[in-house]
Structure 1
């Protein structure tokens, strides 16, 4: 990226003549653009800081329902943006007929840039994956599915920590694209789609976890999986059956961390050819026909839901989604909680159990020779809870026993 290490691949000295922003934001340069959006580096004159401004592409002006949907997604992204590993949203609005979102400018580039340059270690890759897993688990706990995870959406700060970009935006653009093209086109980034997305089905949290596994394989092995055997952990994470995949992104990364693997520096290899990717899943003609048949119903429901939302400034009063970990000092059980109000839940459980709290997904293992695995996961009061323990799982099972059958989402890892 040279002297301009941004999270969006810059184009060569694009002119700013057609970029119009509110007076508060002074355009500096175009960082990048694509079919759906354009990203501009700007200076926020009111707060004296550089920001990234994402403008919806000109081609979407023809859909009058886009501003309402873009506003809703901006609100969701702003709420998640207070998570330490999600790009922070500062402002949103519409200017000169184009919806825009103002977000953090991350100076460290993207994971995609680092893949292209090579030279990072397995430990660094696992840290990036852990940061990403923490963010998407928190998003899922809040009912948000990303739908387009890829290395280019994993932006890096000055400390080399990941901030996930474009949470929820893919959903808004997906709906608009279907309305404008009416072709049932399967959207997403080729090579990272889950099988169900490739079939034109609705993306779920399990779809995000599948995509994270594709990204993980590329980070750890230098190439995306092509359908051949890739090991027990990846076999599960890349299962064609969403129900067989790991119950949380954190559980997947935890399993990777405890899998013996080379510690050599990772470099991106030549991507697999299209036929190799098709061995992993195929977007069939049947799926495209299904997409065309359901497009009208899906868009009608989306418009009915979103048009009631006014497009404007994103309120900072939205409750934050957080993740916290509760664990003792003398054994290996850990309780990880994600969602709005997670800190209160962690505080109460820590007081009841006389354990300690740490922010984020932060498993503690006094006996470093023991592997921590997921014992169960549960949902209660809008929170997503995961219990981890060592091989014996005695205390982990006791914790799992405190949840009702309806609250338990899964058991075992």
Structure 2
């Protein structure tokens, strides 16, 4: 038996109670009814806190009890918390339970409209979130290398090896903590040469400007007529460091006129295949989904592995996240019902200031492909309604032809900033 503890602290706690003896212990720790069943609502009273001492004795046998005690110690005294049977790992359900705890403790509810949206999602989808910047690494898949089967090629030891660390989301995008144990070394190396560079090239300038720390530090973005870099050595409490833009163009006599011009950066060296970006996003999803769902993604995996050729895919929503995401954040939703008007699986992926919302194509549980305007409209309205704080644009990523992102911008210097003090313009002829 597993129970989940939800309290006023941010950390949710899953406790495994394998034996009747263990259940008797937790019945002593928590308040129970006359039948001996643990009550759903508990109070972190002084009496409850005093009973936590028993963990000190239990930790002599198993040190996991010290970690459990540390969580209970952090629950504010006299606050109410909830004990729920089962392992709750659905992000949406946990959000609901946390709201229930807030209400039990008299915390004003300011998210009624959001709750309505969350309820709609929870009724249709099982949802999990994955944070690429978590304090602890999150490992996906089989612990024992000898029992691992690669999610992408279906091979296992000794035909393939699992010696290298396979990041479920590209390390170049700042993922430090989400690791897929079930991606063999061959597939890991192949993806690093094929589809993963495409998404990094598409987002290159954003990765630089928003100081995303990839495998080799912060990325320098270089095109035919510019070079964009960030120097963190000059970082203060109020900024990310000094952004340097090197341009190959003639400067006007009056430098102020330069800041009025729209600059066109030639990023044609940063080419990417749009469909490879879509493949890469879906590869992230396949890397993290629970093993019990993998059979539903067999044709998706075949498509990810295939040579990239044009095929009609669902449109991808791309929006401004409105906040800086220092590491990738992935939310995966899998449909719980047989309502085929909704895609079986969709995901949101955020990094820097950009967020993607996309359907996972070719799953066996989809009745429709969601490539026609009529069918896709359901997903489009769903995204716009559920995530209405984001301004979405809808983009085709079906092409197998190389392209690049056009970069046009204007430098806007606040009037209070002074040349030679707050910013500097240097060229080969004159130092300004």
TM-score (norm 2): 0.25
Computing the radius of gyration from Cα coordinates, the structure with the larger value is 2
